[in-house]
Structure 1
């Protein structure tokens, strides 16, 4: 009960922020299902679209969605092209030196390897990853040959055309692909990385960070966040 009271008070505070800021722009990639993607109507969809819309309702904020390529998503936040990142971004110490994060809205999602053969060499082979991700950093540290691509789709294509032996990415992204394509399979052990997924906020926007923090906490408190996680199957629940 104490947590709920504190969250309610923090959300009430956000009303003042809403009046000070007419529109909060939410930046996402729109290319990483089920987290975020563009539907047939060209609109942002997925777990983070539904989550972001609900957070804005609870925070009494008017929000609009902006799509941005992953490799420039942090620089464009810092430069003011949007006000928050909600794009499956894992909380890491390196990123936290450049931007602030809210509390995580999913626990750490295990990473996994996708390949066309179970006997692929995951330690000494060629492994694909999307550039600027925690998976790319992990591969580089482990000593395998890293090949980076700008989009998630390109990493999968690299495995299919033999340019890479496997791809390392969030398991929630790779599992549906493996289920739909009989030539692709999840291989090797899961790889735990990162500190969960949170919203990225400019360091100068502490009030906005606190407002979204309170909204996330309120969804944790009433169980609605776990319901969304289960609906979209993006992670384990809290």
Structure 2
């Protein structure tokens, strides 16, 4: 669902690495409920639980690596970790640089949130996280885009009046709206973006991709993936 990454020359210059004995799982750690850092300082969330189960089913030893979003694809390609499991939407632009597994979350809507009803989401100032599919959409919508490095900063921009609204994954925004006591509200229409969320891998790591694809397929078939989606995103979330 989220995120359109910038392509750089460094990406094209870096070749894939052979699959290691320990698979390093790269994530952002800042996008609940997909991934976040819990009170114990550990990576947690839907993707932590999902990733651990996929590694178990694939017979892999996995460790988790936290990386800022704006460099998450370059650092995969350069070998700092072996996968991206970070709420990353499958898009044609990204697929030119890295490979994806099948999606482990169906395509879902992005949404606008503002401090009041009637915010102008087509001609006003709209915040989005840098290098996301939401930022790309805002840039083409006629609104004035303001980009921030983290999702928290996009929400802060709405709260402090720096932006009229924010566009992000609805699953990320829903708990923030519910907990805001009316200070934040959904506005405008939902925006369908991306081809679902998948795991990103280097193009050279076809064997590793195949192992994770098989794990995702088995979780879809036995219902355990749907159970995780409902656990982390609620009964109304889209399932398989």
Q: TM-score, structure 2 length as denominator?
A: 0.90
- Trace 1:50-129 onto structure 2 (pairs within 5 A): 50-129=49-128
- Trace 1:1-12 onto structure 2 (pairs within 5 A): none
CA-to-aligned-CA distance 1:108-165 (integer Å, 9 cap, x gap): 1210001011110010000000011100001111121000000000000000011100
**Aligned residue for 2:217?**
217
The Cα of 1:21 is off from its aligned counterpart by 2.9
**Aligned residue for 1:202?**
202
State the distance in 1 between where 2:41 and 2:227 align.
Answer: 26
State the distance in 2 between where 1:236 and 1:166 align.
Answer: 25
State the distance in 1 between where 2:185 and 2:178 align.
Answer: 8
Matched, 1:37 2:39: no
State the distance in 1 between where 2:219 and 2:109 align.
Answer: 22
Question: SS in structure 2 opposite 1:104?
Answer: strand
State the distance in 2 between where 1:93 and 1:169 align.
Answer: 19
Question: SS in structure 2 opposite 1:124?
Answer: coil
Question: SS in structure 1 opposite 2:70?
Answer: helix
**Aligned residue for 2:136?**
137
Q: Which structure has greater strand proportion? A: 2
State the distance in 2 between where 1:137 and 1:207 align.
Answer: 32
Q: Which structure has greater helix proportion? A: 1
State the distance in 2 between where 1:21 and 1:201 align.
Answer: 13
Question: SS in structure 1 opposite 2:50?
Answer: helix
Q: Superposition RMSD on alpha carbons, in Å?
A: 0.9
State the distance in 2 between where 1:44 and 1:123 align.
Answer: 36
Question: SS in structure 1 opposite 2:104?
Answer: coil
Aligned pair count? 219
State the distance in 2 between where 1:71 and 1:138 align.
Answer: 17
The Cα of 1:22 is off from its aligned counterpart by 1.6
State the distance in 2 between where 1:143 and 1:60 align.
Answer: 48
Question: SS in structure 1 opposite 2:190?
Answer: strand
The Cα of 1:210 is off from its aligned counterpart by 0.8
State the distance in 1 between where 2:20 and 2:149 align.
Answer: 33
State the distance in 2 between where 1:210 and 1:132 align.
Answer: 27
State the distance in 2 between where 1:166 and 1:213 align.
Answer: 37
CA-to-aligned-CA distance 1:12-48 (integer Å, 9 cap, x gap): xxxxxxxx73200000000000000000001000000
Q: Which runs of 4+ in 1 moved over 3 A?
A: none
Matched, 1:236 2:235: no
